[in-house]
Chain A
Amino acid sequence: MPDWIIACVPALPLLAALMIAAGYVSGSNRDEAGERQTRRIALSAATLSFLILLYADLFALINGKLPGYIQVFTWFHSGDYHINISFLLDTPGLIMAHLVSLLSLITLHFSVNYLHREAGYPRFFMIMSLFTAAMLLIVMAGNTLLMFVGWELAGVCSYLLIAYSHERTTAADNATRAFVTNKIGDTGFLLAIILSFFWINSTEWPDIFIHTGVLDSLHSGLIASGLLLAAMAKSAQIPFSPWIARSLEGPTPSSAIFYGSLMVHAGVFLLIRMQPLLMHTPELMWMIAIIGAATALYGFIGSLVQTDVKSALMFSTTGQTGLMFLACGLGWFEFALWHLVAHAIWRAYHFLSAPAMMHLLNGHTRFVPAWIQKRRQLYTAALQRFWLEQITDWLFVKPTLALARDAQAFDQQVVNRLVGLPGSIGAVSSLAQWEKQKSTHSMQLDGDSGDIGRGRGLLGKLMEWIASLLHWFEEHLVLKGGDDGILHAVIRLGEVLTRVDEMLSRPRYLLLMLLLTFVVIL
């Protein structure tokens, strides 16, 4: 079997996404009649891609061994650095590729009728195809870089589909929130890639696995931590969990596949993928187990108090991914893999049937025991999702926002003036000014600074300032000869300094200083 055929598995849905996008740009699939074109492209790509995987199975069956590591071609190289388009179809890779391909195909099929006559029909199918490609890249990639490409694409798709009804503020806000949270994880991923380039000279999974034995535990631990951070964010482990419960604003099928069944498991898969790396860092394994257990508990208790179908399913899913993390932490990677597969299949079905969940409930849900029911404090905590989100907001979002405001103020007060942008110009722009000018004819005579000339921007102001300075010198020191002028100038300078001092004593600046100190030390 030629290697390039394997590359077609993720490439076909990607191509479909591009074709649908092209169709949209050219206007050929925008109306109701265009739905046929859209769904044909998306479905045929997904089907073909699945068939290729079956073909690969057949091949593996005949040969009696898995395809394993396949290097299709070198994307680019520079000196010792090689970046390859390569795939790793070992047991987890191959199983996951099937899972992703089949579930995406089923969901696309589901969406054909479900999304009929939606204004965003082509958009939805385009993103879903893109997402399929992204997920396939994640599970099949032979190196961290290619996986990262999939990782990012999946994140973007998730953003776009949460904001499917972008006219609703809640949807748009939640999309941004999910996106930003994921970005934190992505920095970890990026760090791991850079470090492995640095220390191993390669990003290929097999190379990383070989070198883990050679690297000292700090180095391999750092690489693993970066990846772990990414996995935690993607699989919504504590403390990143809140984003996923907010992400259920999109159409039901996309919620099903993103947060119910596939993307939410990407983090777990990453852990399974980096198993050899983790085995060398037992401390990290402990951490994973603790995080997993905490997330499982968070998901479980959270799911008990949810009153809407989608949130309830989401918390439950979070609980299960927590268990998968726990399993990985305990070293039960194979179990985690089977758990992942089974759970992904079940949750896809569960989410797709969410609209009918009310008809599938006989009476009421089995209540928790009475002694738990009475625990009001725990109930409130669960209902408010253990305030995870508020805590992160309080710790990070609010200070950042305030810093941004300060930066904007700095921009207006200092930078804009310096470069001479309008906004602080002094020409007459309101009638009141005109009225004032008219009533005080003496104003022009009275002018004590800028009437020698006007300039904009740094150079302009500089010239203006020199002229004014000379004028002022003449006026105050030569003509008036008194101390008043200088005194005023000193007082004003003092005021400015006090303000700067005040500003620096605000907690966010202290924090910033602290951070800066750390950065410098590191």
Chain B
Amino acid sequence: MIRKTHSPREEILQRLRGAIQHMEHVLPGQAAIKDFVHHNTLHGFEHLPFAEAVEKACEITGNFGYLPQTRFRALFKQGRITLDELRTTLDETANLKASDIIFKAADRDISQADIYLARLLHPIKPVTGCQINWQLGELNALHAFQPDIDSIARERLLKTADLNEHQAIFDLWSACLHILGLDHFIAHPEDMLDLTPEKAESMLSQTLANDDHPDDQPVIDFLIRKHARRDMDKLFSQIGEKLTLEGMLKKLTGEDLLEQMRPLLIRYMAAFLDQGFSAWPGPGREEGFYTFWRKSAVFDKTSVFDDFPDWADTLDALPEDAFDTVVIELRWLGIDEGKWESYLQRLALELPGWSGMFLWRHNRPGYDGLTNVNVNMMDYLAVRLVLERLFAQRLCRNLWQIEASIDVIRWYFKHHLAEFMVRQNFYNQHLPEYLSTLAQNHLNCSDICTPDEQQWWHLAHLIWTWQHSTSNGNPSSYNLFNSAWPLFRLSQHLGLSDAEIRKLDITQIDRIFNCLKAMDKHQASFIWLQAYERHYRDQLFNAVIQNHGRGLWKTRDKRPDAQIVFCMDDREEGMRRHLEEHNPDIETLGAGGFFGLPINWLGLDDEQITPLCPVVATPSYEIQEHPQPHQEALLQKRKQRLSTGQKLQNLVFQETRRNLLVTTCLVLINAPVTLAVLTSKTWVYSRFGRWLENKRKTLSVPVATEITINTEQPDKPATPETPRVGLTDIEQADHIERFLRTIGLQHTLAPFVVMMGHGSISENNPHLAAYDCGACSGRHGGPNARAFAAIANRPAIRRLLRERGIDIPDDTWVLGAEHNTCDENIIWYDRDQIPASLQENFTHLQKGLYIATLGSAHERSRRLASAPKGDSRTKALRHIYARSKDFSQARPELGHATNAAAIIGRRSISQSAFFDRRVFLISYDPAYDPDGSIVENILLTAGPVGAGINLEYYFSAVNNDQYGCGSKVTHNVTGLLGVMQGTSSDLRTGLPKQMIEIHEAMRLQVLVEATEETLTKIYMRQPPLQQLVGNGWLLLSAIHPETGKISVFKPGEGFIPWEHENTPLTRVSNSEDWYKGHTEPLPPALIDQQNSAVKHA
């Protein structure tokens, strides 16, 4: 039906474009898989407070954003959440009024908190008729305690009741019924099959008394019509907000149109978005998806065999422009113009993964060099709408011989209310078997005996009768299932006897039920989460407080042997700890792994640049790797070899799926080699991997390289839009100065300063980028480290720095390196340039780092099921290495699975304590930052990176099926852009199950070494922080640089001192003593420093 008034075209276009932009807030914003970067799964909801955002997202997408209550309860049993923590959290939740007393029991007051706690700790839920019959009949529920009642409650109840268990529980049940004014009459649903005249009479008179109705027509029919009409209005009003046409039809017919059209749609969509996997790119991709689909669909014979008679006509009539199609289709559907935006959003959300990828590419034209593919979200929406119509049309025609527009469907059901009622109830409610069988017969009937109106009415009458009988609890007032049973369970958990229940008055009863209702699933889960976080936070802060004054390098009184700047990554915490335990004279620092140098990197073998910096920034400089002089000839050879290698690789792996006859020849030639490779990869993968690695290295002709850091065009401005190769001296000095000041390394530089970037390499892993450096957009940070070192070693730069007050001593050498967090290997850059005088020190340093990697590997092994658990560190390292070479390993490493906190401050806060690889460590020295500008900058850059990693892990862990991407085991990489489960599923976003299994899902605790005043000022002037911290996406606390006192930031209130009694901490002489024999997450412990180091403190 065409509406009479509508806005001019341009205005609608603007509105719809706005709607598309808005979809960024609700659709997954994940990049194509090879450019995977951690980001907050609910990034579009960051403007809301955390709890509100999770709830809102759930409302829109249907994805629940907390751990299941059962998991929380299990954590409670493990002692990871305590009763005190729950109570405190309840007290702090203002709207719950937890401390209000509801009534006085025999020996105590029952407050609202008691009800909340009982509800949190135990499932106190309504039951169904069948469940209650089971409880009473099979589990003897009326004469024995429920099995989950704890002993204290049991004792208390029996003591107050002064009866045996058998009688006390029965009396309690009677009391619960009595106080709610209910009878103990529980009919089995099937009892409704034959009504006794008495029963029918009593029900009828009850109905007549309850409802208004005219006297002159049959009452029941009237009431059914009334209710059905109400339900129908409700359902139809949801279209455009909560439902699409597909969604509504699913509710009325059980037919999942999306499921039917998905293979059809996904084939076209994947072909269109493909980044080069298929050998035959879809013809006409440059014209956009809509045209691509339209022109191909003309030839699609699906229409013939799948019975779409209006397919060809519909396609013929489609306008050229996608936008026009969208408008026409929406009008045709009969969606209110005001709801167009929300309808399209709902439509996109039905296939979130693919829609999200479409939008992502829409926002990045020319991505991955695909300039000839015109990705426009409007095209996608147009195709979705047309397909939706075609499929809906077929369904509506087959079932009701009507058009698939909303008005027509509404008109049809207006005249077939009984059918509506049956459909609505059968597909959306739980009907007892005798009714569902009947309904099924009606709904799936053969076309030779379609049910007539009378039969629909008969069934509607039956359903209505069942709904109003006692076997289906009447939801409006207190009843057996929703009230008596929960009250009965609650009383047992609180240890209340029948006498105490009988004393309650109606307002008290109301308050009890209000409490049970007040805390919905979201709020309950949020309380659990807060208590869980509090538990960890208190452990962490307790350790930090007790470590006050123990950690080294608060001030650098003595020159360290070396300073190693690691990435802030939580995985490096273990490595740093082991290194310091081995040699306390080495100072370790932490910073974003791009070392303050946002660059575009063009490696020796690369054909295109790679940006290496946090994803929010765009580099202005390009750094290139070149062969050293006299290596050009070698380079030529290398290029040849590499190209041959690549051709060979393509031939072997790609042509064997692409080419028919070549495949036959290739497999026949290759078979013996393949068999050898397959057996080696199965039984001697570690040795084979190493052999292959070495072979590759020698075969590819190693070329000594250097990097261009100086620009040849100093006058050309360097901007993100027009990046320039190299940096001017001033720019170089600026970057080095800023970075050294940021991490507090502006004085007493050691003979060796190492920039340790990181990355991760493993076999057979599509999610490779998810293990890499988050501060380098999911790449390796080695090139940044190398560039930093090259710049910092230049005498000219050192001179400039000295002028600015930073003295890099002449005998200091800066080195770049890269740590492979998967196999623990370290690559050193430009070793040949290390001055001869430092060679010996370097060997010593290397040895120290090797020992640290041994320790790190050993500590990692404790959490890996198949790793050796013995004392031998070399064995552990061997295993870790082998793991990275094992092509059957779905968990080459565990990634950030343990992240939980971030400490921004001097290493002295965290040094000499064990933090279980759970803490991002970011170096910052408040002593050199009087106005807080440095820490402000750190918070602005590291904050989003840390939150991105933490929150992606959080959401993937709490709901792996919907926010994560499920198990790797059935993953299938599609179009080089993402993974599907099987061959025609939605694109799966988030992290795979294997990455989050051991993750403890909680928000990041950020502890900053700064005064409250400084942080408050920063908070007041920085809207991004107000959003992240104020809305509770990050949990901020401050530790005073001098006193070491901690205060916690509470949104809306400011900093509140953290007061907690010191809990004694275990002291151990090294990390191993603490983690040995444990596979679970460990609380912090204090590590006693080696004696030689104490004097540096």
Tell whether A109 is near chain B: CB-to-CB under 8 Å.
yes
Is A390 in contact with B658, judged by CB distance below 8 angstroms? no
Contact of B657 among A164, A313, A367 (CB under 8 A): A313
A413 to B238, CA, bound (A): 38
Q: Smallest Cβ distance from A340 to chain B, in angstroms?
A: 10
A352 to B678 CA separation, bound complex (whole angstroms): 10
Given the known inter-chain contacts A365-B654, A390-B305, A434-B195, please indicate yes or no for A423 contacting B438, CB distance below 8 A: yes
8 Å CB interface, A425-440 against B: 425, 427-436, 438-439
B window 377-397: CB within 8 A of A: none
> What mask results when residues 966 to 1002 of chain B are scored 1 for a CB within 8 Å of chain A, else 0?
0111111111100011111100000000100100000
Residues 157-186 of A, flagged 1 when their CB comes within 8 A of B and 0 if not, give 000000011001111001000000000000
Residues 298-335 of chain A, each 1 if its beta carbon lies under 8 Å from chain B, else 0: 01100111111111110010011001000000000000
| B981 A165 Cβ-Cβ under 8 A | yes
Interface string of B659-678 (1 = CB under 8 A from A): 01101101110110011011
The answer to whether B279 and A384 have CB atoms under 8 Å apart is: no
Residue interface mask A95-117, B partner, CB < 8 A = 1: 00000001000100111111111
**A53 smallest CB distance to B (angstroms):** 15
Q: Return the contact of A307 from the options B306, B666, B975 (Cβ within 8 A).
A: B975
| Residue among A117, A303, A309, A379 with most chain B CB within 10 A | A309
- A409 contacts across to B, CB distance below 8 A: 445-446, 448-449
Complex CA gap A487/B267 in Å reads 61
Whether B218 lies near A373 (C-beta < 8 A) is no
In residues 404-444 of chain A, which contact B (Cβ within 8 Å)? 405-406, 408-409, 412-413, 422-423, 425, 427-436, 438-439
Interchain CB contact under 8 A, A248 and B972: yes
Chain B nearest CB from A93 CB (Å) reads 19
Chain A residues with CB under 8 A of B444 = 405, 408
B156 touches A (CB below 8 Å):
no
Q: Decide: A429 and B465 in contact? CB cutoff 8 A.
A: yes
At the interface, is chain B mostly helix, strand, loop or mixed?
helix
Q: Which residues B440-479 have CB closer than 8 A to chain A?
A: 441, 444-449, 457-458, 461-462, 464-465, 468
**CB-contact partner of B969 in A252, A384, A402, A408, under 8 A:** A252
Which of B279, B306, B457 sits near A390, CB closer than 8 Å?
A: B306
A373–B667 touching, CB < 8 Å: no
Contacts of A341 in B (CB 8 A): 671
Q: Is there an interface contact between A436 and B218, defined as CB atoms closer than 8 Å? A: yes
> Are A431 and B465 in contact, with the CB atoms below 8 A?
yes
Is B302 on the interface with A (CB-CB < 8 A)?
yes
Instruction: Report B925-975 residues with CB < 8 Å from chain A CB.
Output: 967-975
Supposing A118-B967, A164-B970, A252-B970 touch, asked if A346 and B656 sit within 8 A by C-beta, the answer is yes
Closest to B463 in A: A430
Residues of chain A contacted by B441 (CB below 8 angstroms): 408, 412, 423
What is the total number of residues of chain A having a CB less than 8 Å from a CB of chain B? 117
- Within 8 Å by CB of A308, from B465, B888, B970, B975, lies B975
Cβ distance A292 to chain B, nearest Cβ, rounded Å: 12
Q: Is the CB of B970 within 8 A of A361?
A: no
Interchain CB contact under 8 A, B968 and A348:
no
A250 at the interface (CB under 8 A from B): yes
* In the complex, chain A residues whose CB is within 8 Å of the CB of B650: 361-362, 365-366
Contact A308/B664 with A356-B765, A387-B301 known, Cβ cut-off 8 Å: no
Task: Select from chain B the residue with minimum beta-carbon distance to A106.
Answer: B682
Q: Does A77 contact B (CB under 8 A)?
A: no
Within 8 A of A (CB), among B302-318: 302, 305-307
Identify A360's interface contact among B280, B468, B653, CB under 8 A: B653
Let me know if B299 is at the binding interface, CB within 8 A.
yes
A445 within 8 A of B: no
Q: Tell whether A353 is near chain B: CB-to-CB under 8 Å.
A: yes
Contact A431 B277 (CB under 8 A): no
Q: Which residue from chain B places its CB closest to the CB of A308 in the assembled complex?
A: B974
Contacts of A3 in B (CB 8 A): none
> Hey, which chain A residues are within 8 Å of B526, CB to CB?
none
Interface residues of chain A: helix, strand, loop or mixed (majority): helix
Check if A65 is an interface residue, CB within 8 A of chain B.
no
In-complex Cβ contact of A430 among B296, B462, B657, B763 (8 A) = B462
Cross-chain contact B983 with A308 (CB below 8 angstroms): yes
Q: Which of B448, B679, B969 has the most CB of A within 10 A?
A: B969
**Interface residue? B740 (CB, 8 A):** no
Interface string of B277-297 (1 = CB under 8 A from A): 111111110000000000111
A246 and B983 in contact, given A251-B969, A436-B218 (Cβ under 8 angstroms): yes
**A346 and B888 in contact (CB under 8 A), knowing A168-B982, A357-B973, A431-B465?**
no
A338 within 8 A of B: yes
A342 within 8 A of B: yes
The chain B residue with its CB closest to the CB of A383 is B267
Contacting pair B464 A430 (CB below 8 A)? yes
Asked if A106 and B678 sit within 8 Å, CB to CB, the answer is yes
A73, chain B: closest CB distance, angstroms? 35
Question: Judging by beta carbons under 8 Å apart, are A117 and B655 in contact?
Answer: no
CA distance A111 to B218 in the complex (A): 67
Q: Which residues of A contact B973 (CB under 8 A)?
A: 308-309, 354-355, 357-358
Determine whether A31 belongs to the interface, using a CB cutoff of 8 Å to chain B. Answer: no
Query: Which residues in B have their C-beta under 8 angstroms from that of A343?
Result: 664, 667
Indicate whether A359 reaches chain B with its CB closer than 8 angstroms: yes
B528 CB to closest chain A CB (Å) equals 24
Residues of chain A with a CB closer than 8 A to B981's CB: 165, 168, 249
Assembly CA distance A110 to B973 (angstroms): 19
Return chain A residues, CB-CB under 8 Å to B278.
Answer: 304-307, 312, 365
A residues in contact with B515, CB < 8 Å: none
The verdict on A363 contacting chain B, using a C-beta distance below 8 Å, is yes
C-alpha spacing A342/B668, complex, angstroms: 5
B764 touches A353 (CB 8 A): yes
Closest residue to A502 on the B side, CB-wise? B448
A488 at the interface (CB under 8 A from B): no
Interface presence of B276 (CB below 8 A): yes
Q: Which of B300, B306, B679, B969 contacts A106 (CB 8 A)?
A: B679
Rounded to whole angstroms, the CA-CA distance of A360 and B437 in the bound complex is: 54
A361-B195 contact in complex given A250-B970, A356-B766, C-beta closer than 8 Å:
no
A422 to B438, CA, bound (A): 10
Evaluate contact between A169 and B259: CB separation under 8 angstroms: yes
> B124 at the A/B interface (Cβ < 8 Å)?
no
Picked from A110, A246, A367, A412, the residue with its CB within 8 Å of the CB of B888 is A110
Which single residue of chain A is at the shortest CB-CB distance from B982? A249
CB distance from B772 to the nearest CB of A (A): 13
Q: Cβ of A503 < 8 Å from any Cβ of B?
A: yes
A184-214 residues at the B interface, CB under 8 angstroms: none
Q: Does A349 contact B (CB under 8 A)?
A: yes
Complex CA distance for A413 and B197, rounded to whole angstroms: 28
Q: Does the CB pair B983–A429 fall under 8 Å?
A: no
How far in angstroms is the closest Cβ of chain B from A129? 17
The answer to whether B865 and A116 touch across the interface, beta carbons within 8 angstroms, is yes
User: Which one, B203, B660, B682, B683, contacts A431 given CB within 8 A?
Assistant: B203
Interface string of B23-62 (1 = CB under 8 A from A): 0000000000110000000000000000000000000000
Known contacts A304-B658, A435-B204; decide if A384 and B302 are in contact (CB<8 Å): yes
* 10 residue pairs, one from A and one from B, having the closest CB atoms: A364-B276, A430-B461, A342-B671, A390-B305, A405-B446, A308-B974, A432-B461, A249-B982, A434-B200, A432-B220
- Interface pairs (5), CB distance under 8 Å: A109-B888, A110-B682, A251-B969, A308-B975, A365-B276
* Chain B interfacial positions (CB closer than 8 Å to A): 33-34, 192-195, 197, 200-201, 203-204, 207, 218-221, 224, 256, 259, 264, 267-268, 270-271, 274-284, 295-297, 299-302, 305-307, 434, 437-438, 441, 444-449, 457-458, 461-462, 464-465, 468, 646, 649-650, 653-658, 660-661, 663-664, 666-668, 670-671, 674-675, 677-679, 682-683, 763-766, 768, 865-866, 886-891, 967-976, 980-985, 994, 997
Known A-B contacts: A346-B674, A362-B649, A432-B461. Give 11 more (CB < 8 A).
A303-B279, A304-B279, A305-B278, A308-B270, A308-B983, A309-B972, A316-B657, A358-B33, A372-B280, A379-B296, A434-B197
